């Protein structure tokens, strides 16, 4: 299969999946302007319960401190075994204030240090990147994240000197999917700091169910029909000219390793806090007669 054809399939799968998400709700939250992504690469045999146990120490520390900044954790279903932690901010200034706040809180800092030592025993390495939201590359990016269960994340690296072709490519996809999939949505972030910063973009698509992936294959045909033969040919030319590499992976939300807001928990308590939700539903014992 030609390289540009594989890239087109990646994009079609990614973007048509987004269309099925939007149909479920008109409400949603806007993507953060600054997104910090921490990656933890877990040793073989140490994912699952062992990692949940060490990560719970971080959640407990932030909960005890009533920390206002929250984060979403997820585990890889494809690719290298790893966990991702997403932390969103309104600005780089807000990120700085959060970091300084942790440093100036000795109780929280000590608890996080202890948790880090235990967690480090399970990891081969960690790394972080900081992204900025590209609204101009995104389409209807608001989403009801508290009710989602997966993120499909695609990473694109653009060849140096080919930014114009990349922008033209993205514009064609945005315009095409506005017509082909009226409910389609996705969020694009540009890597500003980290190992792959400079010409690297990630496209995030939240999904409530993996069944949306099955439906996306049929949806991609509608996009091709809207673009037409000439449009698809132009897409292939642009992809071949500007994209150096592309990769898509699927991640499942992990509520036990996430530190989310009370608003998120209230939106879907059975998922985010199942024990508390179950206890709340348990009927009270009737008094003895």
3-state secondary structure string, 108-162? HHHHHHHHHHHHHCCEEEEEEEEEEECHHHCECCCECHHHCCEEEEEEEEECCCC
Sorted by where each begins, the domain ranges of the chain are 3-262
Q: What is the residue whose two structure tokens read 């269309």?
A: 19
The tokens describing 242, both together, are: 């500007």
- Within 10 angstroms of residue 151's Cβ, the number of other Cβ atoms is 20
> Which pairing describes strands 72-76 and 150-158: parallel, antiparallel, or unpaired?
unpaired
pLDDT reported for residue 21: 37
Sequence-ordered list of residues with C-beta below 8 angstroms from that of 262, at least 6 positions apart, any chain: none
pLDDT reported for residue 285: 56
- Model pTM score: 0.86
Residue 157 contacts residue 245 (beta carbons within 8 Å): yes
Q: Give tens-digit pLDDT for 241-284.
A: 999 999 999 999 999 999 999 999 999 999 999 887 667 776 66
Residue 141 contacts residue 30 (beta carbons within 8 Å): yes
**Spans in the chain with pLDDT lower than 50:** 1-26
CATH 3.30.70.100 holds for 3-262: yes
The tokens describing 154, both together, are: 């695609």
pLDDT reported for residue 168: 97
Backbone φ/ψ region at 40: left (φ over 0), alpha (ψ -120 to 50), beta: beta
């Amino acid at each position: 299969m030609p390289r540009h054809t594989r890239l087109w399939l990646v994009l079609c799968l990614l973007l048509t999946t987004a269309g099925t998400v939007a149909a479920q709700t008109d409400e949603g939250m806007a993507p953060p302007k600054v997104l910090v992504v921490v990656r933890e690469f877990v040793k073989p045999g140490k994912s699952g319960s062992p990692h949940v146990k060490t990560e719970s120490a971080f959640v407990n520390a932030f909960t005890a401190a009533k920390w206002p900044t929250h984060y979403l954790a997820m585990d890889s279903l494809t690719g290298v075994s790893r966990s991702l932690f997403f932390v969103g901010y309104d600005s780089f200034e807000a990120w700085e204030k959060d970091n300084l706040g942790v440093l100036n809180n000795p109780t929280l800092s000590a608890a996080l240090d202890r948790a880090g030592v235990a967690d480090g025993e399970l990891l081969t390495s960690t790394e972080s990147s900081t992204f900025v939201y590209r609204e101009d590359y995104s389409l209807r990016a608001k989403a009801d994240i508290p009710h989602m269960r997966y993120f499909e994340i695609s990473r694109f690296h653009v060849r140096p000197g080919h930014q114009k072709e990349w922008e033209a490519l993205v514009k064609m996809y945005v315009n095409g999917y506005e017509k082909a999939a009226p409910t389609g949505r996705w969020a694009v972030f540009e890597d500003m700091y980290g190992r792959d910063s400079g010409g690297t973009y990630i496209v995030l698509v939240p999904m409530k169910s993996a069944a949306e992936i099955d439906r996306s294959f049929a949806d991609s045909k509608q996009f091709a029909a809207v673009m037409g033969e000439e449009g698809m040919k132009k897409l292939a030319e642009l992809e071949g000219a500007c994209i150096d590499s592309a990769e898509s992976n699927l991640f499942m939300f992990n509520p036990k390793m996430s530190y989310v807001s009370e608003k998120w928990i209230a939106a879907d308590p059975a998922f985010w806090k199942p024990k508390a939700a179950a206890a709340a539903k348990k009927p009270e014992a009737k008094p003895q007669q």
